[in-house]
Amino acid sequence: MPVVLSLQDAYKRYGGQQLLRGASCALTDDQKIGLIGRNGAGKSTLCRILLGEEELDAGEVIRSKKLRLGYLRQHDPFLEGETVMGFLTRDSGQPDWRCGEIAWQFALADSMLDKPVRELSGGWQTRVKLAALLLHDPNLLILDEPTNFLDLRTQMLLEHFLRAFRGGCLIVSHDRSFLMKTCTHTLEASRGELTMYPGNVESYLANVDERREHDMRVNAATLAKRKQLETFIAKNRANANTASQARNKAKQLERLELVEVTGDEARVAFSFPNIEPRRGPAVRTENVAIGYPDRQVAEDIRIEIEHGSRVGIVGDNGQGKTTFLRTLCGSLEPVAGEIKWGFGCEMGVYAQHVYTSLNADKTVMEYLEYEAAVDRTTQQIKDIAGSFLFSGDAINKKIKVLSGGERARLVMAGLLLQKHNVLMLDEPGNHLDVETVEALADALERYKGTVIFTSHDRHFMQRVATDVIEVREGRVVIYPASYDDYVYRVQREIDEGLRSEAAAHGVADNNAADRKANARADRDAQKRLKNVERKIAKLDGDRKEANEQLLKVTDAKEAQKLHARVAEITTELESLEHEWLELYEASEGA
């Protein structure tokens, strides 16, 4: 696994904030790495530095001669009126047959290749960009928030692409489920440093918590031993018979050192206002049609949402999720029919792009004072601001200097300063870091009111949604099963579609000899699969045993050895799990 791009002793400052402080990292051509860190930790800046779009204040970016760097462009690279095929051939310089071959991997059917790219939805345009990316044959990809605003179906296709991609990846994402399915390593950006961990984001979070707890236990044992030695020395150093023992104990005391325990970074911690739980329907629609003067999006909508439920609205981009949500909250009039809200419903709304239209010249405090209910005191406003990490001088910052994530947090803080019993949230997790999204999910689970929301974050949806409404092909209906079932159905549709496209492009084998060879290969693959499963089970047991020993050991050196052993086992497990996944997908697609 040769290193193709690395950062050495890097320093980067923005104003008074030190984003990189002697940071180093190495990217290889076969590791898939998830880059995580709090908003403002410098993740996007690091990507721009690696891409050569920004300079370091000090340090070095080293690029191998073998590096073929690719990145998913966020801007619109298409010419006016340019078709999908026209863009792919122009951008890549490849013949149309090769472009078509790559396009079908992203479910871009032959009928779509002659359509103007700009007439497609954002999700389909992203698929076109991904096809163009693959046509350049990169061996390292840098993807900054690739899932923002992508629907579930496009996210799954992107996951297929990244798992099958033979090169390395550096992926910035706040979507924990996406990182779990695509990345084998985790790179943490924190306090100006970059730290690589073997394992996916869940393993990283578990490892960090375990190490912190263990180090605290070691320190507690060390402090107890220190107190014991100090007591012995105080009692015996003046006694001629025990003075030499006291001196020996003093030497032992000097050798006792505490393990440095890295303190937690500031975390968002909040709750939505306590409200009186209500019963019965919160809202009912009667023969409603939604849309705009020039087009109708959906009709004959007959749904009922109960008080206290948390309803996730799902569907592909362009199907009308946001249109339906806007119609429910009254910012868009229904084309036909009637929407009836229950008595006493007080609605709070978080719109998808609201933080881009805030008054840039207002301060954080001025915005929150304007949003707060009349009975809120200045101290209550400051308390809620502090819970969203706007404390001290930060409360007097102008909105125009806030990042996208900080503005999103500010709007969410404003919601908490009013007492709503119904929350309408359109993509509330976009631009929030992993920790803030988790805090939001915790708060919504405790909330006694009604929540109606959209989100492309599967982990967030799985945690929060108690009910699901699907918007699809001109219909809006209560989905009859759970969100997990909906995800399974979409995944199955994608798998079947990819197999059909593969068959249509002549990828499937058609003669008996090929089928016989495939059957033989499938039996061999099943054997390898079972063998890998046995190895994984054994290593999993070894890791569990090592972790149990870590909970008991107090000697720092022994603990270090056990940490190294756990890391070694984790690395081997990740490799085996990746091999298992490839074998499993091969057997499923056979």
Bridge partner list, 349: 424
Q: Is residue 214 part of a domain?
A: no
* Residue 155: HSE in the Cβ half-sphere, 13 Å Cα cutoff: 27
The whole-number average pLDDT for the span 219-248 is 82
Are 475 and 580 members of one domain?
no
Are 460 and 531 members of one domain?
no
Query: Which has the closest alpha carbon to 453: 439, 443, 442, 467?
Result: 467
Q: Is residue 13 part of a domain?
A: yes
Are 477 and 525 members of one domain?
no
CB 479 within 8 A of CB 141: no
Are 319 and 467 members of one domain?
yes
Are 482 and 541 members of one domain?
no
**What's the CATH code of the domain at 398?**
3.40.50.300
The more confidently predicted of residues 40 and 225 is 225
Residue 304 has pLDDT above 70, yes or no: yes
Residue 192 has pLDDT above 70, yes or no: yes
pLDDT at residue 289 in the model:
94
Are 47 and 106 members of one domain?
yes
- Given 204, 227, 248, which residue is the final one in a domain? 204
- Given 168, 184, 204, which residue is the final one in a domain? 204
pLDDT band at 171 (very low <50, low <70, confident <90, very high): very high
Residue 318 has pLDDT above 90, yes or no: no
Are 516 and 422 members of one domain?
no
Counting the structural domains of the chain, the total is 3
pLDDT at residue 524 in the model:
60
pLDDT band at 301 (very low <50, low <70, confident <90, very high): very high
C-alpha dihedral sign at 141, 147, 151, 152: positive
Residue 297 has pLDDT above 70, yes or no: yes
CA distance linking residue 419 with residue 276, whole number of Å: 11
pLDDT at residue 512 in the model:
41
The whole-number average pLDDT for the span 220-224 is 83
The whole-number average pLDDT for the span 126-131 is 86
E-strand stretches of 345-495: 347-350, 422-426, 450-454, 467-472, 475-478
The whole-number average pLDDT for the span 345-368 is 82
3-state SS assignment for residue 454: strand
Are 384 and 454 members of one domain?
yes
Tens-digit pLDDT profile for residues 450-496:
999 998 888 899 999 999 999 998 999 998 888 988 888 888 887 77
CA distance linking residue 447 with residue 274, whole number of Å: 7
The whole-number average pLDDT for the span 361-390 is 86
Range of the domain at 569: 512-589
Are 569 and 424 members of one domain?
no
Q: Is residue 224 part of a domain?
A: no
Q: Is residue 264 part of a domain?
A: no
pLDDT at residue 508 in the model:
44
Bridge partner list, 27: 5
pLDDT band at 517 (very low <50, low <70, confident <90, very high): very low
Tally of CB atoms within 10 A around 225: 14
- The per-residue pLDDT of the chain, averaged, comes to 82
Residue 251 has pLDDT above 50, yes or no: yes
- Given 445, 472, 487, which residue is the final one in a domain? 487
Q: 58-96 burial, b if ≥16 CB within 10 A, otherwise e? A: ebeeeebeebebbbbeeeeebeeebbbbbbbbebbebee
3-state SS track over 64-77: CCCCCEEECCCCCC
Q: Is residue 554 part of a domain?
A: yes
Q: How many secondary structure helices (H) and strands (E) does the chain include?
A: 17, 19
> What global pTM score does this model have?
0.67
The whole-number average pLDDT for the span 364-371 is 90
pLDDT at residue 90 in the model:
93
pLDDT band at 409 (very low <50, low <70, confident <90, very high): confident
Q: Is residue 496 part of a domain?
A: no
Q: Is residue 275 part of a domain?
A: no
pLDDT band at 522 (very low <50, low <70, confident <90, very high): low
Q: Is residue 266 part of a domain?
A: no
The whole-number average pLDDT for the span 396-423 is 84
The whole-number average pLDDT for the span 131-140 is 90
CA distance linking residue 469 with residue 452, whole number of Å: 10
Are 285 and 173 members of one domain?
no
pLDDT band at 353 (very low <50, low <70, confident <90, very high): low
Residue 75 has pLDDT above 80, yes or no: no
CA distance linking residue 40 with residue 26, whole number of Å: 22
pLDDT at residue 147 in the model:
81
| Strand-pair category, 168-172 with 32-36 | parallel
Are 431 and 293 members of one domain?
yes
Are 403 and 533 members of one domain?
no
Highest mean pLDDT of the ranges 124-138, 224-238, 449-463, 573-587:
449-463
E-strand stretches of 399-504: 422-426, 450-454, 467-472, 475-478
